[in-house]
């Protein structure tokens, strides 16, 4: 059963070494992420699953110990998803899960066993919800670290340019995450999310599915902003 969740943004710029001179601009977001991970630790889960976006329409598993890096952004920085339990072969972590691994390392996570789950950006809402239900059933006490960004179309200089639909779309997600509203997350428009380049759509719908078995969860919105024209949200469910 899901006992806690934290939703965090996943831009590589969240990592100070990647952001370099712009690093102070996201310090408030980093602090909110640290607080959110504290909620996960306080829940004392038996399993932590880090859910993040990947390309395509499938599902990918990244065992504990899987490595990732930010070398593709010109930074000599490697990360690892939890402890090295020998699961170091195979694919590297995609960027969203690498940012999640960095957050866990930054906060010194050493509690429950964990794994990464990549969710395809084109995965249908129903399958996302089913995946969440499956994850929640894996242990008596499950926690999720859900990585994903809202729209990338909030300003003229945003990666997706300005789209007038972006601000209300992001506001709806913020309300849903802050209220632990699983129905609103399930109902997110897949096509609109794709058009607005919202990488968090599928991971948030996995969260909605995982929370279905625990209606007592309460949400709290810790951070909401759109630096660089991209919507970043931090929230907790516990």
Distance CA 167, CA 154 (A): 6
Each residue's pLDDT tens digit, 154-188 = 999 999 999 999 999 999 999 999 999 999 999 99
C-beta of residue 149 within 8 angstroms of C-beta of residue 204: no
Distance CA 63, CA 86 (A): 10
Each residue's pLDDT tens digit, 213-236 = 999 999 999 999 999 999 999 999
Supply the CATH number for residue 157's domain: 3.40.830.10
Is the overall model pTM greater than 0.85, yes or no?
yes
- Look up the domain containing 125 and give its range: 2-237
DSSP β-bridge partners for residue 144: 5, 49
Using the CB atoms, write b or e for 37-56: b if 16+ within 10 Å. bebbbebebebbbbbbbbee
- How many structural domains does the chain have? 1
Determine the Cα angle at 6 with ends 158 and 228, to 5°.
10
CB atoms within 10 A of CB 14: 22
Are β-strands 67-69 and 59-62 bridged in parallel, bridged antiparallel, or unpaired?
unpaired
């Amino acid at each position: 059963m899901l006992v806690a969740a934290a939703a965090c943004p996943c831009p590589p710029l969240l990592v100070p070494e990647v952001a370099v001179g712009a690093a102070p601009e996201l310090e408030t977001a980093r602090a909110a992420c640290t607080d959110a991970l504290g909620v996960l630790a306080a829940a004392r889960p038996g399993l932590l699953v880090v859910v993040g976006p990947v390309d395509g329409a499938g599902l990918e598993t990244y065992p504990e110990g899987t490595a990732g890096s930010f070398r593709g952004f010109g930074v000599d920085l490697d990360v690892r998803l939890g402890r090295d339990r020998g699961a170091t072969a195979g694919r590297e972590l995609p960027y969203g899960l690498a940012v999640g691994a960095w957050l866990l390392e930054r906060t010194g996570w050493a509690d429950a066993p964990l794994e990464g789950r990549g969710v395809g950006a084109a995965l249908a809402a129903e399958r996302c919800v089913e995946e969440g239900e499956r994850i929640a059933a894996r242990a008596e006490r499950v926690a999720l670290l859900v990585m994903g960004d809202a729209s990338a179309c909030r300003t003229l200089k945003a990666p997706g340019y300005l789209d007038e639909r972006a601000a209300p779309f992001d506001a709806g997600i913020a309300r849903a995450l802050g209220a632990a509203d699983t129905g609103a997350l399930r109902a997110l428009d897949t096509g609109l999310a794709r058009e607005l380049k919202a990488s968090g759509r599928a991971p948030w719908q996995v969260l909605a599915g995982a929370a279905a078995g625990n209606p007592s969860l309460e949400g709290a919105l810790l951070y909401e902003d759109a630096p660089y024209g991209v919507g970043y949200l931090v929230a907790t469910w516990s």
